[in-house]
């Protein structure tokens, strides 16, 4: 059973604060795969971090927060799932099983954080109406801090109590529940892939889908090898479609006339 060092808790908390603010700009650091990787590096177990984060990334592929809607916070799930998986020593499946309820719980806190920022936004509107320009930067900065603390504080608290709590939970958890968590961790990525395939033009690419399944299931080709085959297939499809588009444009612009202007002579 590994124990959290104070520097690990501080680094993960600072990363969470920076990442959630970065989500308003580039939305890179909050990707579950990135969050799992960075958390794994801090925890000293990069492999587990990549497994937890990559699995949650698959679950997130078919979900987006359009129009300000709140969705499960797989970023926080990846961070805490990785930390708890390393602490418990139960492996990535355990961390994935814990990450899902954490993501759903943080959905509620996301609503609270947005509500607080709406309050600040109205204060900014009043400052603009009153031409109180000096207050605007402070209010905007306050919103950034509130948004960052909405993830940093819950993660900090869970990491502070997590060392003892996870040890107690894992030592007293029934085997049937652990088996259920591991099973859920194995099944949930399939749900994410299924959601993604539902919105993609899968039918016209069935041969490539079957090829990937054949390479994985029967030839035991590793994921990197299948990815390379996928890149090659994508290049061939792109080249074929580009050639067809160029041919259509050539036929459209190279019309011949009988003579004179518009063939009227």
Residues 216 and 121 in one domain: no
224 domain-assigned: yes
Whole-number percent of the chain with pLDDT over 90: 14
51 domain-assigned: yes
Residues 55 and 186 in one domain: yes
Q: Final residue of a domain: which of 160, 175, 192?
A: 192
Residues 155 and 31 in one domain: yes
Asked whether the predicted pLDDT for residue 2 surpasses 80, the reply is no
- 115 or 83: whose pLDDT is higher? 83
265 domain-assigned: no
Residues 140 and 215 in one domain: no
Residues 17 and 137 in one domain: yes
Q: Which of 93-102, 192-201, 252-261 has the highest mean pLDDT?
A: 93-102
- In terms of residue numbers, what domain contains 239? 200-252
Q: How confident is the model at residue 121 (pLDDT cuts 50, 70, 90)?
A: confident
Three-state SS string over 167-233 comes to: HHHHHHCCHHHHHHHHHHHHHHHHHHHHHHHHHCCCHHHHHHHHHHHHHHHCCCCCHHHHHHHHHHH
Q: Final residue of a domain: which of 172, 192, 212?
A: 192
pLDDT tens column, 17-61 = 999 888 878 878 889 999 999 999 999 889 999 989 988 888 777
Predicted pLDDT at 170: 58
Lowest mean pLDDT among 116-125, 177-186, 201-210: 177-186
264 domain-assigned: no
The sign of the CA dihedral 223, 219, 182, 6 is negative
Of all residues in the chain, what percent are helix, strand and coil, respectively (each to 5)? 80, 0, 20
Q: Final residue of a domain: which of 144, 162, 192?
A: 192
Predicted pLDDT at 131: 84
Whole-number percent of the chain with pLDDT over 70: 79
Residues 103 and 147 in one domain: yes
Predicted pLDDT at 79: 92
For 15, phi then psi, to 5°, come to: -60, -40
Rounded CA separation 48/93 (Å): 9
Tally the domains of the chain: 2
pLDDT tens column, 50-65 = 989 988 888 777 565 5
């Amino acid at each position: 059973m590994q124990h959290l060092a104070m520097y690990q808790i501080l680094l993960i908390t600072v990363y969470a604060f920076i990442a959630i603010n970065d989500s308003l700009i580039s939305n890179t650091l909050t990707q579950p795969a990135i969050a799992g990787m960075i958390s794994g590096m801090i925890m000293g177990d990069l492999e587990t971090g990549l497994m937890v984060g990559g699995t949650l990334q698959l679950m997130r592929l078919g979900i987006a927060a359009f129009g300000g809607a709140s969705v499960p916070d797989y970023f926080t799930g990846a961070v805490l799932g990785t930390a708890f998986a390393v602490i418990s020593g139960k492996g990535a499946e355990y961390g994935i099983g814990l990450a899902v309820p954490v993501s759903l719980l943080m959905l509620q806190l996301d609503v609270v954080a947005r509500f607080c920022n709406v309050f600040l936004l109205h204060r900014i509107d009043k400052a603009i109406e009153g031409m109180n320009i000096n207050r605007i930067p402070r209010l905007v900065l306050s919103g950034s801090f509130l948004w960052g603390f909405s993830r940093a504080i819950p993660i900090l608290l869970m990491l502070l109590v997590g060392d003892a709590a996870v040890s107690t939970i894992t030592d007293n958890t029934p085997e049937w529940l652990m088996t259920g968590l591991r099973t859920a961790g194995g099944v949930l990525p399939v749900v994410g892939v299924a959601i993604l395939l539902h919105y993609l033009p899968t039918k016209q690419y069935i041969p490539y889908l079957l090829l990937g399944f054949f390479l994985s299931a029967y030839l035991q080709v590793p994921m990197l090898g299948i990815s390379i085959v996928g890149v090659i297939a994508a290049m061939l499809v792109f080249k074929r479609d580009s050639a067809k588009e160029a041919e259509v444009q050539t036929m459209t612009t190279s019309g011949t006339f009988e003579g004179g202007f518009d063939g009227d002579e």
